[in-house]
């Protein structure tokens, strides 16, 4: 059964549903839309993981394949990107189960970003991620 409040005032709907669930009134809750929103939240967390990994891999690619363009703060940027990625993974440890597909997607994005920045010579960058995930998050690993 459609819930008009869900479509016209999401904030009110969300608060109403939370109150119903806390009160144990599951039978009155908009279960179908709640389930959809929970699935959407899960997809959002996965996209955030891909985004953070993309940022880290982009920095690692540029550091490795453009050493002359390294700024004085490149290590700091990589350290920060690693910390953000690990924090997100700590909050969502089951995302580790998605590592192969996440790395592939994030590396495609990172490679595209690096190529866009450096110009048409995309042959300088590997087609697949040259580092294991454990390397990318290791604070002692620098792509020299």
- Over its length of 144 residues, how does the chain's per-residue pLDDT go in tens digits? 568 888 899 999 999 999 999 999 999 999 999 999 999 999 999 999 999 999 999 999 988 988 787 888 999 999 999 999 999 999 999 999 999 999 999 999 999 998 888 766 666 789 999 999 999 999 999 988
The answer to whether residue 143 is domain-embedded is no
What pLDDT shows up at residue 20?
97
Name the DSSP letter for residue 130. Answer: -
CA–CA distances in Å: residue 118 to residues 61, 115, 136 = 11, 5, 22
What pLDDT shows up at residue 98?
92
Q: What's the domain count of the chain?
A: 1
The answer to whether residue 144 is domain-embedded is no
- Dihedral (C-alpha) 29, 34, 35, 37: value to the nearest 10 degrees? 180
The answer to whether residue 35 is domain-embedded is yes
What pLDDT shows up at residue 1?
55
Q: Are 111 and 97 in contact (CB under 8 A)?
A: no
The answer to whether residue 126 is domain-embedded is yes
What pLDDT shows up at residue 2?
64
The answer to whether residue 71 is domain-embedded is yes
Between CA 89 and CA 136 the distance in angstroms is 13
The answer to whether residue 50 is domain-embedded is yes
The answer to whether residue 92 is domain-embedded is yes
Q: Which domain holds residue 110?
A: 4-137
């Amino acid at each position: 059964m459609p819930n008009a409040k869900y479509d016209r005032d999401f904030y009110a709907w969300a608060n109403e549903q939370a109150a119903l669930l806390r009160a144990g009134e599951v039978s009155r809750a908009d279960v179908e839309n709640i389930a959809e929103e929970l699935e959407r939240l899960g997809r959002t967390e996965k996209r955030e993981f891909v985004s953070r990994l993309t940022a880290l891999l982009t920095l690692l690619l540029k550091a490795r394949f453009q050493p002359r363009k390294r700024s004085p703060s490149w290590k700091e940027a990589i350290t920060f990107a690693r910390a953000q990625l690990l924090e997100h993974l700590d909050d969502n440890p089951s995302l580790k189960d998605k590592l192969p597909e996440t790395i592939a997607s994030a590396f495609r994005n990172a490679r595209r970003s690096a190529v866009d920045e450096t110009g048409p010579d995309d042959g300088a960058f590997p087609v697949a991620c040259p580092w294991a995930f454990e390397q990318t998050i290791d604070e002692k690993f620098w792509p020299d």
